[in-house]
Amino acid sequence: MRFKWKVLMLIFLPFPALAATEFPARQIQLSVDQPYQVTNTVMSAMLQATASGKNTAELADAVNKKTHWALQQVHAVQGVQIQSNEYQTQPDYTDGKRSGWTVKQNLQITATNLTDFDRVLGKLQSRLELVSLKSEPALAARDAAEQVASHQAIARFRKRAMAACGDFGYADMRLNTVQILAKRASTVPGVMMAATARSPVESAPGETALSVEVSGSVQCVSATRK
């Protein structure tokens, strides 16, 4: 009888010890995306001075005169910046044979004052071709909005992590790894992209849609058996 009692003790002793232990930590992965919008206050337009014909020297001179005129128009207005970009001389073909040349000079204007921008753009379109028109947020405004969105995304990440751990029967969580990524989304209505055009275009800045993503993994800990 004494032998049987010892055997029973060996069998049942581990069970109280197991009941007192916690569940092993569980790792879960999740992500939170926090969208936000920033008002566009910086307008920019790409324009092109062009000339086509057979004499490249004359064409270059014509493009240079248009470019010089454009610079004068912009420099007369404070708050509007202009810079020259790509310059090209390319052959033209008719029925597979070279028929002449086209010389192009790209100019970009930028401004934060919408009234001045539209006024200068209207003048330049009388001699230059509008290639594209876009707007975007000022860097300081975008950074400020991004910081607010980051705080919101982190708070939502922590709340969702705690809720997920709770659903698994755990009482707490510990951060394992985390990544904060600022994503550039597409612009929302109000931003115009125009094909080559001569007629004056009225700009409409609108807003830019952005988002901050917080992703990572947490350890669910301190769970107890019920």
Q: Is the pLDDT of residue 199 over 80?
A: no
Mean pLDDT of the chain: 84
Nearest alpha carbon to residue 202 among 41, 43, 39: 43
Q: Are 214 and 175 in contact (CB under 8 A)?
A: no
Name the percent of the chain lying above pLDDT 90.
73
| Domain boundaries, given as residue ranges, for the chain | 22-39+139-188+197-221, 42-136
**Model confidence at 62: pLDDT above 50:** yes
Q: Does domain 22-39+139-188+197-221 have CATH number 1.10.20?
A: no
pLDDT digits 0-9 by tens, 132-171: 999 999 999 999 999 999 999 999 999 999 999 999 999 9
- Gap between the Cα atoms of 164 and 155, Å rounded: 14
What pTM was estimated for this model as a whole? 0.69
**Which pLDDT band, with edges at 50, 70 and 90, does 197 fall under?**
very low
Task: Please check whether the domain covering 42-136 is classified as CATH 3.30.70.360.
Answer: yes
- Could you report the per-residue pLDDT of 91-117, keeping only the tens digit for each? 999 998 999 999 999 999 999 999 999
Which of the four pLDDT bands, split at 50, 70 and 90, describes residue 5?
Answer: very low
Give me 91's structure tokens: 């052959």
More confident residue, 29 or 12: 29
CB 173 within 8 A of CB 161: yes
